[in-house]
Structure 1
Amino acid sequence: MNYKSYLFMLFAVGFLFACSTQPQQTEMVKPDWSDNPWPEIRKKRINQLLPEAMKAAGVDCWITIGRENHNDPIAVHVGAENAGGTAVFMFYLDDSGFHSLAFSPDGEATSLDELNIHDEVIRVDRGASAVQVAADFIKEKGFKIIAVNSSSSNTMADGLSYTQRRNLEEALGDYSSRLVSSTDLVYEWLSIKLPEEVEILKKAAQMASDFQYEAYAMIVPGKTTDAEVAKFLKAKMAEYGVTDAWHPDQNPNVNSGPDRGHSHATDKVIMPGDVIQTDFGVKLYGIWVSDIQRFAYVLKDGETEAPADIQQYWENGKAGSRIALAAMKPGVKGEDVDRAQRDLMDANGSLYVPWSTGHPVGYVAHDVGPNLGGARLETPRPAAQKLLKKGMVFAFDGFHTWKREDGTEKTISVEEMAVVTENGAEYLIQPQEDLILIK
C-alpha cells in the first residue's frame, strides 16, 4: 500500500469519528437481566442460520449427544444444557427442508418439549438407549453424511467423548463409516451473529469501556495498585449483575508495567510516568461477551499531557486500529487484515508483536471464526486463511511496541470490537481517541 492510499484509508475511517475526541460514556443504568432474549435468539439461530451452515459444510445430518455434569460445549446452543440422562439432538436436511429432533429420556422429555425449540421431542422409554433410537432413525432415513462433535481444531466441535463415540458407532453399525467431523459446520454456524446479538454485544462493549473509565478515575498515583484497579472492576461487575468474559483470575488484566501478555493483575504500585493497559470484558445474560482495552497515562509533576514519544506511540497504535478496520470486509482473509496493520507498524518503527491483530468474539472471548493474524508467519494457522463474512464480530488491536528505559518492552494495543457489514466493517461503540490522563 502506498503512502497516499494509506492516508486516504485513514481519512475515510477516521471521518466518522472526527466530531468527538473521546468515546461517549452512556448513562449507567442497572439493567434488568430477568428478560433473557437467548431462548428466542437461539431458536432463530437454529432455524435461520443452521440450515445454511449445514449446506456450507456439506452434511445432511448433525447429531449432538447431551448428558448431565460433563456436557457438550455446544449444548446451550442446541437446547441440551439441561440434559439429565443421555439425550440425542438431531438436525437434518431432506427434500422437504430442515428439521430438528430431540431423542430424550422420558423423565426430561416434557420440560424439553415445553421449550419449543425442536420440531419434535421423541420420548425414549426408561431403560432404553436414546443413542440406539437415534441410530435407528438415521438408518431409516438413509443419511449419507452425518456430522458429529469430534474435532482436532475446534473445541466447540469436540464435545463427543470417546465412550459416546464408541457407543454411537456400535449403534450405527456399517453406517458409522458415514460419520464426519462437525468442525466446518460448527464454524459456519457460530461464526455468524444475528443483528439482535450484535446489539447485545454493543451493550457489553460499552459497559466494559465505561467501567474502565470509572476505574481510571479512582487511581491515586504512588498508592493505588494494579490489583486494586482490578478489584474495583470486579465490584462494578457484581454491582451490575454481569460476569467474567474469560477466566476470572485474568479478567481484568490491569498492567502499569512492562508487557506480561494474558495474565492477572499484580500488586505493582501505579506511578507517575506509567502507561496503564486494562484488558477487560463482561458477559451479559450468561451468553454474550465483550473484550475491550483502554489505555491511560499517569502524568508526572508539571506535565499536562503525555510526553511526545508516548503520545506518538499512542497515535501509531490508534492508526493501526483504524487501518485494520478499513481492511475488514466480506471476502478478505484474516491474514490480510493482520498484514495491513503490520505494514503500518513496520513503517512506524514498532517492535515485533507476537499476538494476532484480532480474533472472533461473541460467546467466548476467543470465539469461533477467522483469526486476524499470521501475516508474518512462514506457516499461518488455517484460521487465518478463512474469509470474513457479514455478521462476524471481532475484537482487534492497534499495536505499537517500544523499548522502555529499563530494557523491557511495552505495547499499546488499542483493542476495540467491530462487526463485518455488507461492504466493510464498523466499530460496535465509539473507539478510544485519546489517552486517558491521570493526574
Structure 2
Amino acid sequence: MTLIAPPDPARTMPLPLREQADVRDRWLTQRILDLLPGLMDRAGIDLWLIVGREDNEDPVLGTLLPATWLSARRRTILVLHRSDDGVTAAAVSRYPVGQFLPAWSPGEGSVLPAEESQWAEVRRMVAQADPRRIGIDVSASFALADGLSHTDHQELTAVLGPYADRLVSAEELAVGWLETRLPEEVAALHPLNRLVDEVVAEAWSPAVLTVGTTTAADLAWWIRQRLTDLGVAPWFHPMVDVQRAGVAPVEECGVLLPAVPYDAPVLPGDLLHCDVGLSSLGLKADVQRTGYVLRPGEADAPAGLRRALAVGTRLQDLTTTELVVGRTGNEVLAAARAGAAAEGIDGVIYSHPIGVHGHGAGPAIGRWDDQGGVPGAGDRLLHPDTVYALELSVTVSVPEWGGQPVRMALEEGIVLTETGVRYLGDRQTELLLVRGS
C-alpha cells in the first residue's frame, strides 16, 4: 500500500524561464547537428522548407524557433539543406532567427516589394541547392505534419516554377523530427513525470482534500492552479473523477465511465482517479493516478480494487512487451489485445506519442473508442528514442462492491529504446491511500 505523504518542501522546483531558454536553445543546436541529418536521409529529403505566418504557424516551426520566440514573426521561412557536411539551416525572415543563418534582408539591392523579394530569395536558394526532393509539411495522416497553409502552398508553388515538380510531403521527416528525443530530453522527462506524483500527493492530502466536502471539480481546479503556480502549465484541464460502490458506471462507445457527479463531495470508500498533463522545457508529460479513500478503521483498500489495479498493470506489461522497434502501432495494438484476450482481461488500449505536443506525432496505438486499429497514424513504424504515454484501462468486477464493475484507468510516460521500454518517473503499482482526516 502507498499512503499519501505530505509534499517534500525541499524538492527541486522547475528551472527559471531564463535557464529553460538556455537549455532549449542548446538542445535545438544539438538536434539539428545530431538528429536532423539522419532523419532527412531516412525520409529521402534533400531540402526541407518550413513556412509559417504569425498567428498561423506550422506546428513544426515552433520546435525550430529560438526559445525567446513565442511565435513566428510575419512570414518566417526556414530552409534546411542536407549536404555532405551535414545540414545548413538558414532563415528567410524579416528578423534574425536565433542560430539560423540570415539569408535575406528586405530592401537591400531589390526593387521588389518585401514579400515578393522574400519568395524570390527562396527560389534562388532552391536553385542553388538543386535538390532532388523538396519536403513541405503536408500530410493526410498527421495534423502536426500538415502545417503548410493553402495560401503559402500556392505562393511557394508559383515562385518555384519548374522546381515545384520536386515538392513532396515531408510527413516522414516532420514526424521523425517531432517524435525523436535526445538523451538529455529523456533525462529531463523523469523529474517532470515525478512532479505529477508530488502535485497529486499534495492535492489528495488533508491540507487540500476534506472528505465529505471537497468535490472532484474542486480537486481538478486546485491541480490546475498549482501547476500554473509552479511554472509547469497544464496542457489540458486536469480531470478528476470518482467511482463509488452502489453507483454503477455508464457505458459510452463501449467504455464504462464513472457516474458520480463531478460536483459531489468525495466520500470514504471512494475510488479517486485523476489525469494530469503538464509542460516544461518545451516538453509534455501525461500521467494518471488512482487512489482509495480509506473508511474509518481501514488500513488498506479492498482486495477487489487492489486486484483491479494489478490487472491494469498486467495489461501495461502485455503492451510494453509488444512495443518493438520496426512494428507498426496497429501491430502492437493487435498483439497486445490478443495477449489480453488470452488471459481474460477486459481492456482498452489507447496509447499515444508525447513530446513537444501532448498528443504527439508518431504511431497511434489504438483509440479509446476504436480498438480495430487507426488508419494512417496507426500504420506508422515505431522508431527508437521515442516517448509515449502508455494509456489504457481495464474493467474488473469488485466483490466487495457487490460485483459492480470498476474501470481502472492507467497512464505512464515511457521511452522506447533499441533494447526495450523504460518507464519515466515512478510507475504506479499500488493504490494511493487517501486518509479521511
TM bucket by the smaller chain?
0.7 to 0.9
Cα deviation for residue 419 of structure 1 reads: 1.0
Larger CA deviation: 214-223 vs 404-413: 404-413
CA contact (8 A) 2:347 2:392 kept: no
- Work out the CA distance in 1 between the residues paired with 2:367 and 2:55: 37
- In the alignment, structure 1 residue 73 sits paired with structure 2 residue 51: no
SS in 1 for 2:288: strand
The number of equivalent residue pairs is 405
- In the alignment, structure 1 residue 268 sits paired with structure 2 residue 256: no
Cα deviation for residue 435 of structure 1 reads: 0.5
Larger CA deviation: 74-83 vs 88-97: 74-83
CA contact (8 A) 2:366 2:372 kept: no
- Work out the CA distance in 1 between the residues paired with 2:384 and 2:4: 25
Question: Which residue among 50, 64, 72 is the counterpart of 2:36?
Answer: 50
Query: How does 1:22-421 map onto structure 2 within 5 Å?
Result: 27-33=10-16, 34-36=18-20, 37-79=23-65, 81=69, 82-105=71-94, 108-109=95-96, 112=97, 115=98, 117-125=99-107, 127-128=113-114, 129=116, 130-218=118-206, 219-244=209-234, 246-247=235-236, 251-257=237-243, 258=249, 266-285=262-281, 287-347=282-342, 349-353=344-348, 355-356=349-350, 358-373=351-366, 377-378=371-372, 380-397=374-391, 399-402=393-396, 410-421=406-417
SS in 2 for 1:124: coil
- Work out the CA distance in 2 between the residues paired with 1:438 and 1:140: 66
With over 3 angstroms needed to count, the CA separation of the structure-2 counterparts of 1:351 and 1:185, relative to structure 1, is same
The residue identity in structure 2 corresponding to 1:234 is: R
With over 3 angstroms needed to count, the CA separation of the structure-2 counterparts of 1:406 and 1:143, relative to structure 1, is farther
Cα deviation for residue 408 of structure 1 reads: 8.6
CA contact (8 A) 1:23 1:430 kept: no
Cα deviation for residue 421 of structure 1 reads: 2.2
CA contact (8 A) 1:56 1:188 kept: no
Q: Percent identity among equivalent residues?
A: 28
CA contact (8 A) 1:132 1:168 kept: no
Relative to the length of structure 1, the TM-score reads 0.83
Relative to the length of structure 2, the TM-score reads 0.83
The residue identity in structure 2 corresponding to 1:371 is: A
The residue identity in structure 2 corresponding to 1:35 is: E
**Unmatched 5+ stretches in structure 1:** 1-19
With over 3 angstroms needed to count, the CA separation of the structure-2 counterparts of 1:84 and 1:238, relative to structure 1, is closer
- Greater fraction strand: 2
Residue 6 of structure 1 corresponds to which residue in structure 2? none
Residue 434 of structure 1 corresponds to which residue in structure 2? 430
The residue identity in structure 2 corresponding to 1:39 is: D
CA contact (8 A) 2:123 2:159 kept: yes
SS in 2 for 1:414: strand
SS in 2 for 1:214: helix
- Work out the CA distance in 1 between the residues paired with 2:291 and 2:78: 49
Cα deviation for residue 136 of structure 1 reads: 2.5
Encode CA deviations 1:10-34: one digit per residue, 9 max, x unaligned: xxxxxxxxxx978998752333323
- Work out the CA distance in 2 between the residues paired with 1:183 and 1:90: 16
Cα deviation for residue 340 of structure 1 reads: 4.9
CA contact (8 A) 2:414 2:421 kept: yes
- Work out the CA distance in 2 between the residues paired with 1:296 and 1:332: 35
- Work out the CA distance in 2 between the residues paired with 1:133 and 1:23: 60
With over 3 angstroms needed to count, the CA separation of the structure-2 counterparts of 1:365 and 1:97, relative to structure 1, is closer
The residue identity in structure 1 corresponding to 2:411 is: E
Encode CA deviations 1:195-244: one digit per residue, 9 max, x unaligned: 11112211210111211122122333322100111122123213312101
Residue 246 of structure 2 corresponds to which residue in structure 1? none
- Work out the CA distance in 2 between the residues paired with 1:91 and 1:50: 9
- Cα RMSD after superposing both structures: 3.0
CA contact (8 A) 2:81 2:129 kept: no
SS in 2 for 1:53: helix
